[in-house]
A and B are shown apart, each in its own frame.
Chain A
Amino acid sequence: MGKVIAIAGNTVREVVRDKVFYILVFFAVLLIAVSKALGWISMEQDVKVMKDFSIAAINLFVLLITIFLGTTLVYKEIDKRTIYTILSKDVGRWQFVLGKYFGLLAAASMCMAGMTAVFIVYLLVMGGGVEASLFLAVGGMLLELMLITSVSLLFSGLTSPVLSAFITFCFFLLGHSVEVLRKFVEEFEFQGLEPMANAIYYLFPNLENCNFKMYVGSGTLPEAAHVLWAAAYAAGYSAALIGITLVIYRRKDF
């Protein structure tokens, strides 16, 4: 476990040293700040618009950080041959994969926590109120992050960073669409497509399960069972993907 933590710590340092990380954080904070300006032109809906755009900004930029940095993590290790140095020591491949996964997740979570703190302070300064659903939405994003990190890690060691980033981004888009796609097929009665839509629905990660952004400003909260099932789903799916990653990495000739 100590080795996993050591690799995770090293991954966090590696991510934090990357300039892309700061550029993305800068743009996220900028978008949070600009959300107030959008609020001005929204007919007394400034706080709502601020909340919606800031949460969207946090979600989007943390996702980009995870994709851009996650997809290059293992690739860089292979490219620079530093992976041989690590694996030649008494470090198992599973420890390496888990260390990378938790390191990337920790870095992205810290970044998200920082952005959320900035957003909350900004919201309070601008006269908005903080509600429990805001934290729930951020919690949902963290679950989504768990899934996306495992996807990015899976492809990081398989293909080039560009292709890997592209595939991970497609997973994100598909993850948010599987539910609607299935409804489409049902509603328009595309008979032949139903099995395929069902297969996509159950096989691909359904990121809408972790989407609690809709509750922000609604004055309601989801049931505890809903949140727990979503957390279990994200954890289970991520574990499955990490398992696949481990199998692939075991067969790889590093």
Chain B
Amino acid sequence: MALKQAVVDCAAAAAIAGSMLASAALMQAQLVPFKKAVPRGAHYIPSHKFMKLASFGFDKAAADLFWLDSIQYFHDEMFAKGRLAVRAPLYSKMAGLVTDLDPDFKDAYYAAGVFLSLVGRLNESEEILDKARRKHPETYFFPFELGTLLYLDPRRDESEAEFEARKLRGVERFKEALGCKDCPAFEAEFMRKVLLSKGQTSAVFELLKRKFDNEKDPMLRKHWLSKLEQTLAEGWESGIRLAVMDHRRAFGGFPLDLGVLPAAPGLPRLKRAGRNGRWQAYMSGTGGPPPLEEFRDAFFYDPSTGEAASAYLVNLSDRLKKAAVDEAQAVFAIRTGRRAGTLEELYKVAGLRSVGAPLLGRYVLDSEGRLAVAGDGAADNGNR
């Protein structure tokens, strides 16, 4: 009897509790639409000084909270609601606050820098990236991004002189990035090209030499050494071209022999050497500065057009092209079950686009389907 009473009591209690919970759930469901309708008010961003005071030693956790809040809020405002112009300035302030609270929060600098430049807030993007590179001088990414922004961004509302000054600031940032230990090869190559185009050959050489000297990994040392060789060869090639043009201006025609070019700083001593019906000049003097004392190069020269080209660079370019062709042949074989006989076939079927078009005419495929220079073959590279 007592057991029956207990079961009844339990059932009654469960029924009461269940019905109360169910009604609470129903009321909760009724409240949902009201909550959705409640607008999220103006986003208050406190000053970093106040937040430093109010975070009571939990600066990093506070920075994380602001970061989480900012990425959600601004994504919602800018991309879902499209209030780009209105909310973008707040993002800059938020990024400033987060990076003040946690100066080591590299991703906050990065996201803000990239995002602000994407939405056209270039000055603010520069500001945050500049702050990042000052705080983290060892990280290549910040000066690289800042350099890219300053150097590659089209002319804004600024005079020609200001535009040029901005580009020069970009070049300085590239130098900084190239000097960082963590700078990857691809970005380094891009910056090397930019700096060379701005006549910063000696600066590039010094930065690459520093990388070579500080590198312990043999593979990477080899990589940086080849970049040093490339830079030196490019400098020589450019110097020879300028000297040939000077000769033309002085004497009314291109020199017949590169050996007659006068000695000049940055210009190798050359002697004439005819080979396979093409004019060539070999270096007769010493090589480059350390660690390239042993480096020698030869130069193709056509006295009818005045064109001069480094054999080292031509070989390098050929090697890259050959590798691209071999790769394209593998793709071609998968698609057709045979090897391509002509470059045109490779170009059409295997998508040899990157080096495809320039190859047509100057190069052919040999009997094994490999790339070969049409005519007299690839150039020799001095004594290397």
Q: Which residues of A contact B (CB under 8 A)?
A: 38, 41-45, 48-49, 52-53, 55-56, 59-60, 172-173, 176-177, 180-181, 183-184, 187, 207-208, 211, 213-214, 216-219
Contact = CB atoms under 8 A, between A and B. Distances in A.
For the residues of B in contact with A, the DSSP-based class is helix
B56 A42 contact: no
Nearest to B57: A176
Interface in B57-89: 57-61, 63-64, 67-68, 71-72
Contacts of B72: 41
B56 A177 contact: yes
B49 A53 contact: no
Nearest to B53: A180
Given A184-B49, A214-B104, A41 B68 contact: yes
B272 interface: no
Contact of A214 (B56, B59, B67): B59
B158 interface: no
Contacts of B52: 180
Contacts of B64: 38, 42, 45, 48-49, 52-53
B111 interface: yes
B71 A176 contact: no
B67 A56 contact: no
A48 B63 CA distance: 11
Given A42-B64, A217-B104, A207 B111 contact: no
A176 B56 contact: yes
Given A38-B68, A53-B64, A45 B107 contact: yes
12 contacts: A38-B68, A42-B64, A53-B61, A55-B60, A55-B61, A56-B58, A59-B58, A176-B56, A177-B56, A184-B49, A213-B60, A214-B102
Contacts of A44: 107
B135 to A, nearest CB: 10
In this complex, the interface size class of chain B, counting residues with CB under 8 Å from chain A, is 20 to 34
A56 B104 contact: no
A172 to B, nearest CB: 7
Contacts of A41: 68, 72
A177 B53 contact: yes
Contact of B60 (A56, A173, A177, A187): A56
A193 to B, nearest CB: 15
A216 B49 contact: no
Contacts of A216: 60
A154 to B, nearest CB: 21
Contacts of A211: 57
Residue from B64, B68, B71, B72 with most neighbouring chain A CB atoms (10 Å): B64
Residue from the set B61, B71, B104, B111 with the largest chain A CB neighbour count within 10 Å: B61
Nearest to B139: A219
B191 to A, nearest CB: 24
Contacts of B53: 177, 180-181, 184
Contacts of B111: 43
B91 to A, nearest CB: 14
A168 B321 CA distance: 73
Contacts of B68: 38, 41-42, 49
- Most B CB within 10 A of own CB, among A56, A187, A211: A56
B104 A218 contact: yes
A59 B60 CA distance: 13
Nearest to B101: A214
Contacts of A45: 64, 67, 107
Interface in B221-277: none
Contact of A207 (B57, B59, B63): B57
Contact of A43 (B59, B61, B71): B71
Contacts of B71: 42-43
Nearest to A188: B49
A42 B49 contact: no
Interface in B259-315: none
Given A41-B72, A43-B71, A184-B49, 6 more contacts: A38-B64, A52-B61, A53-B64, A56-B60, A177-B56, A214-B104
Nearest to B55: A176
A177 B49 CA distance: 11
Nearest to B71: A43
Interface in B14-66: 49, 52-53, 55-61, 63-64
For B57, B58, B105, which residue has the most chain A Cβ atoms within 10 angstroms? B57
Contacts of A207: 57
Given A53-B61, A56-B61, A184-B49, A173 B56 contact: yes
A222 to B, nearest CB: 13
